[in-house]
């Protein structure tokens, strides 16, 4: 039923565009999955199968048609520590299981999937809406820089490492300009980017990225030009190419129970929570970005569940796991992919490349794929941030820059959490300064405090400073008609204030407190039934609350 509903509504609106964009994404997925597999310290095949399983499940059941998921660097940098520790434990225990760290990873992915599914079931995906816009801009800028830096690792060394730019400047430039492999790669990257830039001006019927990859591949293959390819990249990284076998499920179970003692709660479970958080944050923020690009709206909670299911499959069948990929998602959308068919085609084509087309795919030049990703960087980076940086509040500018820097320095999850915390603290500080108290004396000598502004933990100190219990008259009223009591700290402040006035032998009354606030104060102490004035009309809501009072023509009222 779910798949049938998906097929009818979101599966595809333009089959041609979805199929061609899916093929383009599949080609770009190969080096990314392989590169992130090397980062995590696993075989390239584990990364490729992980990208397939993530891609097919989220394409069919995820919350954002057209969004691409696969093996990602943000999760790979966390996985590598788990795998290394598992291997060290295996060596220490002399376990018969080869590469114990990989078995730990698969078990961890099962937990990651469960955590993400529970996040979706409890509808935690909606909390991504609380992420401020400066954090979002910092996220895309930082991720664009990360994608750019990741491509630089695919370049050949421009200059031998033993030549110093500072002490051997002339030799350094001589070596740079004589490096044919480097300039050859730069030339084909430039050609790829030129095709992607110029072709859409002529026609948008075919994805520019796919045509660019095909053109560059044909030139290098039929022209007999030797340069780095997908196959050579895998073998240089220690892999054997797009071939091999995956670990069995029996190995994973044996590896888990054989090393359970002491490591499940100290290593595996904490890593699972970190990976789940990173995956959800990156996926939900990518979902928001694609929503803005397509002017549609995805379902964050459904995406959480789909991501969790995909990671469980990876844990069961030997994949690397992952989450949404902003670069490939943008390639897909820019190439015309809007439906679920595009993501499904990308995943199926990736699997076919591995199973049947490995020799052909291995001949694709790395330069073509790097050129595609450089165009993604150009399209991802929020260039408008340079224009608005001086026009927005200083605190927002600091958040934007900090999130970008932390994304590059640490990882996405740390950057987003830090950005949200900074934004929340700035918001709390600004609101803490907004509390006001207008003071006046009634004809009978009663002093009135009219409170304006939010009363919460941050504004308690300013709130308390407005009152002078020792010198105030014997009768005091505090009117909260223009204030909102927001948390327990505010209730405690009111409670202490009443006690302070009563300790001075003075009479205090509270007016226009909200219903919830009064209920909590009554529970705190019965005496508040005498302190709080009940059944007082709020003058701001007469029109809504008592419409029968306004039956005369408007011209007869003194306004």
- Model confidence at 204: pLDDT above 80: no
Q: Mind listing the pLDDT tens digit for each residue in 280-297?
A: 988 998 998 899 888 888
Q: Mind listing the pLDDT tens digit for each residue in 397-427?
A: 999 999 999 988 877 778 888 998 999 899 8
pLDDT at 11: 86
Q: Which two tokens stand for residue 530?
A: 């005498």
Q: pLDDT tier at 240 (50, 70, 90 boundaries)?
A: low
- Superfamily grouping for domain 436-549: STAS domain (3.30.750.24)
Answer for the pair 325, 347: CB distance below 8 angstroms, yes or no: no
Least confident piece of the model among 250-264, 316-330, 469-483: 250-264
**More confident call, 85 vs 219:** 219
Least confident piece of the model among 154-168, 304-318, 435-449, 536-550: 536-550
pLDDT at 2: 43
Mean pLDDT score of the chain, rounded to an integer?
83
Distance CA 259, CA 107 (A): 11
pLDDT at 153: 78
- Model confidence at 535: pLDDT above 60: no
Q: Which two tokens stand for residue 224?
A: 């007999």
As a three-state string, the secondary structure of 520-531 is: HHHHHCCCHHHH
Distance CA 256, CA 264 (A): 9
Beta strands per DSSP E along 427-548: 436-441, 447-455, 475-485, 507-511
**More confident call, 328 vs 81:** 328
Q: Which two tokens stand for residue 123?
A: 């509808």
Distance CA 117, CA 307 (A): 8
Dihedral sign for Cα atoms in the order 106, 107, 113, 119: negative
Closest Cα to residue 247, out of 312, 308, 316?
A: 316
pLDDT at 102: 84
């Amino acid at each position: 039923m779910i798949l049938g509903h998906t097929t009818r509504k979101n599966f595809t609106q333009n089959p041609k565009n979805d199929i061609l964009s899916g093929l383009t994404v599949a080609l770009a997925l190969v080096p990314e999955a392989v590169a992130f597999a090397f980062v995590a310290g696993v075989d390239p095949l584990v990364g490729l199968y992980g990208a397939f399983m993530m891609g097919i499940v989220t394409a069919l059941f995820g919350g954002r048609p057209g969004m691409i998921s696969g093996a990602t660097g943000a999760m790979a940098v966390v996985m590598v520590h788990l795998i290394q520790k598992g291997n060290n434990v295996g060596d220490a225990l002399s376990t018969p299981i080869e590469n114990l760290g990989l078995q730990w990873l698969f078990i961890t992915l099962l937990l990651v999937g469960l955590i993400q599914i529970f996040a979706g079931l409890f509808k935690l995906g909606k909390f991504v809406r609380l992420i401020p816009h400066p954090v979002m801009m910092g996220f895309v800028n930082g991720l664009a820089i990360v994608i750019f830096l990741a491509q630089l690792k695919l370049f050949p060394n421009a200059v031998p490492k033993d030549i110093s730019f500072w002490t051997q400047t002339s030799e350094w430039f001589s070596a740079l300009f004589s490096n044919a492999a480097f300039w050859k790669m730069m030339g084909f990257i430039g050609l790829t980017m030129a095709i992607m830039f110029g072709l859409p001006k002529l026609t948008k019927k075919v994805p520019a990225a796919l045509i660019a990859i095909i053109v560059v591949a044909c030139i290098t293959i039929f022209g007999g030009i030797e340069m780095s390819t997908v196959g050579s990249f895998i073998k240089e990284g220690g892999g054997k190419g797009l071939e091999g076998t995956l670990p069995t499920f029996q190995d994973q179970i044996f590896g888990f129970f054989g090393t359970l003692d002491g490591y499940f709660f100290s290593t595996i479970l904490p890593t699972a929570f970190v990976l789940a958080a990173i995956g959800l944050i990156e996926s939900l923020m990518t979902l928001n970005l694609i929503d803005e690009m397509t002017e549609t709206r995805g379902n964050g909670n459904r995406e959480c569940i789909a991501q969790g299911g995909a990671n469980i499959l990876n844990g069961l069948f030997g994949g690397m796991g992952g989450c949404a990929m902003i670069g490939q998602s943008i390639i897909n959308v820019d190439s015309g992919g809007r439906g679920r068919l595009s993501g499904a085609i990308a995943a199926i084509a990736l699997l076919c490349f591995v199973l049947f087309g490995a020799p052909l795919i291995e001949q694709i030049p790395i330069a073509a794929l790097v050129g595609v990703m450089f165009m993604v960087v150009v399209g991802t980076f929020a260039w408008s941030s340079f224009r608005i940086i001086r026009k927005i509040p200083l605190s927002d500018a600091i958040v934007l820059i900090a999130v970008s820097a932390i994304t590059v320095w640490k990882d996405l999850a740390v950057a987003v959490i830090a950005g949200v915390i900074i934004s929340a603290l700035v918001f709390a500080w600004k609101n803490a300064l907004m509390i006001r108290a207008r003071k006046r004396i009634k004809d009978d000598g009663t002093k009135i405090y009219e409170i304006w502004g939010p009363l919460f933990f941050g504004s308690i100190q300013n709130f308390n400073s407005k009152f002078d219990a020792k010198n105030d008259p014997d009768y005091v009223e505090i009117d909260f008609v223009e204030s909102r009591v927001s948390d327990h700290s505010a209730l405690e402040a009111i409670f202490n204030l009443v006690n302070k006035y009563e300790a001075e032998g003075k009479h205090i009354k509270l007016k226009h407190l909200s219903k919830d606030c009064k209920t909590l104060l009554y529970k705190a102490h019965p005496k508040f039934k005498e302190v709080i004035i009940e059944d007082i009309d709020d003058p701001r809501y007469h029109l809504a609350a008592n419409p029968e009072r306004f039956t005369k023509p408007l011209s007869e009222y003194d306004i």
